[in-house]
Structure 1
Amino acid sequence: METIFPKKIQKDDEIRIISPSSSIKRVGGFDQNLVAKEKLGYKVTFGDHILENDLFYSSSITARIQDLHQAFIDDNVSVVMTTIGGLNSNELLPYIDWEIIRSHPKVFIGYSDITSLHNAIRAQTGLVTYYGPCY
C-alpha cells in the first residue's frame, strides 16, 4: 500500500477535536487548552458528540463514528486531534469508512487507547498518523 503523508500544519489551520474513546468531560483544563491553541494561531472546533458521557465515559459508537467521519470529510479541517484515550476506541474499527479517510488525508494525533486507530488507519489507508499529545 502506498504511504500517504498529510499536509503540514500551517498557522490559521483548523483543528477538530473528537473523542473516539473517552469523553472530553474526563479532561481537565478544557478552556485553557482551547485558549492555548488559539493563541498559537489555530482555529479549534469540536465534534458534535464530545460532551456525551455514558457509563464508560464515552458517547455511543454511532456518535463517535459520526464525529470521526465528519472531521475527515470537512475540507476546512486540517488536523484531527483526539481527547484523552480510554478503553474503547477499538469498538469503532468495524464501522469506519476507510475510503473517507483515504480520500481526505489529514494530520491525525492522539495517544494511549487511540493507538488502535493509529494502527488501523495506517494499515487500511496508508496514511501516516502521529502518536502525540491529545487535547
Structure 2
Amino acid sequence: MTVRPTHTLCPHAPVPALPSQGLIGVIAPAGPAALDTDKAIAWMRERGYSLRVYPGVYERDGYLAGSDEVRLNDLHAAFADSEVDAIICLRGGYGTPRLLDRIDFDLLRCNAKPFIGYSDITALHLAISRYAGFVTFHGPMLNADLLNEKQKPTESSFFNMLRGQVKAGSVLTHPVAYPLTTIEPGIAHGRLSGGNLSMIAATMGTPYQMDAEGVILFIEDINEPLYRIDRLLTHLRLAGTLHKLRGVLVGDIAGVEAPALERLLKQTFAPLRIPVLSGWRSGHCNPNLTLPMGALVRLDAGSKELVLEQDVVIKS
C-alpha cells in the first residue's frame, strides 16, 4: 500500500456553521436562470431557513446573469451582509472568471461564511482558496439541484456539512447504490481542491490557478467527450500540476462511459504512483454530494473512503 508523504499543510480556516433558522443569500455569479422565488422561499422555509435574493438573480445580460458589475456587487454584498449566514449560487454556466481580478478578497476573508456552488463556480473556489484561505463547499445550487428535487442524499449531505454534523474524523457518506472504483490503491493525506476540470484547466497560467502542492485533486465535468477529458488532463500534466498531487478523487464525468474513463485515468495517473478513486457522486449528477474544498482529508482509494481530517464549520 502506498502512503503519500504527510509534511505539514496549513489547513484552510473553517467557517461559521449554518445556524438553525438562518438566512441564506442567493447570488448568480455566472449564467442566468428563471427563479421561482415563491417556490424557493417555501422550500427553504420548510427546512427552517429564509432567503435573501440579490438583484443579479433577476437580471439577464445575454449568457450572463447581469453585468459584471452587478454580479460582482452581489458577491461582495452577500459576504459583507452580517445577517446572511451562508451564500448559495443560483446556477453555473459561464461568467464567473470575469470577476476574479476585481474581487475584494480581504472583504471575503473578514466575512468568511459557507459559500456553495459547482461547475463554473469552481473559479471562485480556487480563487478563495488561494487568496482568502477559508473552506468553501462544492455542492448543490439552488435551481439545478435543490429546487429540482434531486435525490435525498443531495439535501442531507448539504445540510449535514453546513450545520457541522460532519466533524473531523468522519468518513464522508457515499450512497451504496453508486459503487466507487479504485483506479490506483493507496492512502494519501492532503488538502481537497479542484472542481470542474474544464475550469481548472482554464485558470492555468493565471494568478487564480489551483495551488496543487500537496493536494487531493477532485475533478468532475459534463458535455466533454473522452478525447477532451484526455486533452484537459494532459494540459494539467504538461503544466506540472499532476506531479504535485498526493491523490485524486474523480467525481461524475457525465456522458463518458465508465470503462473508457477508467482506462484513461489509469493511463494518466498510474505513472505518478498516487491513489485514485473514481465514481464519487458530486458534480452534474443526481445525487450531488457536498465536498469541503480546501479542507484536509484522507483518501483511502483501496478501502474506497474519504475521511475529513479537520472541522470545516464551527458552531458559535
TM-score (norm 2): 0.41
Report the equivalent of 1:35.
42
Segments ≥4 residues shifted beyond 3 Å: none
Report the equivalent of 1:12.
21
Please say which of residues 46-55 and 30-39 is displaced more in the overlay.
30-39
Q: Distance in 2 between matches of 1:71 and 1:2?
A: 25
Aligned equivalent of 2:102, options 72, 95, 100: 95
Q: Distance in 2 between matches of 1:122 and 1:31?
A: 34
RMSD of the TM alignment (CA)?
A: 1.4
Q: Does 1:124 align with 2:111?
A: no
Q: Aligned AA for 2:86? A: V
Q: Distance in 2 between matches of 1:57 and 1:113?
A: 12
Shift of 1:2: 5.9
Q: Distance in 2 between matches of 1:103 and 1:47?
A: 20
Q: Distance in 2 between matches of 1:34 and 1:21?
A: 21
CA offset digits 1:56-105 (Å, max 9, x no partner) = 14210100010000000000001010011011111010110000100000
Aligned equivalent of 1:55, options 49, 53, 62: 62
Q: Distance in 2 between matches of 1:130 and 1:63?
A: 23
Percentage of pairs with the same residue: 32
CA offset digits 1:104-134 (Å, max 9, x no partner) = 0000001111011011111111110000011
Q: Aligned AA for 1:12? A: Q
Q: Aligned AA for 1:9? A: L
Q: Distance in 2 between matches of 1:103 and 1:73?
A: 9
Aligned equivalent of 1:78, options 70, 85, 103: 85
CA offset digits 1:16-57 (Å, max 9, x no partner) = 0000001232x5x54323211111111111112211101114
Report the equivalent of 1:23.
32
**Which secondary structure state, in structure 1, belongs to the residue aligned with residue 108 of structure 2?**
helix
Unaligned runs of 5+ in 2: 1-9, 143-316
Q: Does 1:114 align with 2:121?
A: yes
Q: Aligned AA for 2:81? A: D
Q: Distance in 2 between matches of 1:87 and 1:67?
A: 16
Q: Distance in 2 between matches of 1:38 and 1:4?
A: 29
Q: Distance in 1 between matches of 2:76 and 2:111?
A: 10
Q: Which has the higher helix share?
A: 1
- Across the two proteins, how many residue pairs are aligned to each other? 133
**Which secondary structure state, in structure 1, belongs to the residue aligned with residue 38 of structure 2?**
helix
Q: Does 1:105 align with 2:112?
A: yes
Higher relative contact order (CA 8 A, sep 6+): 1
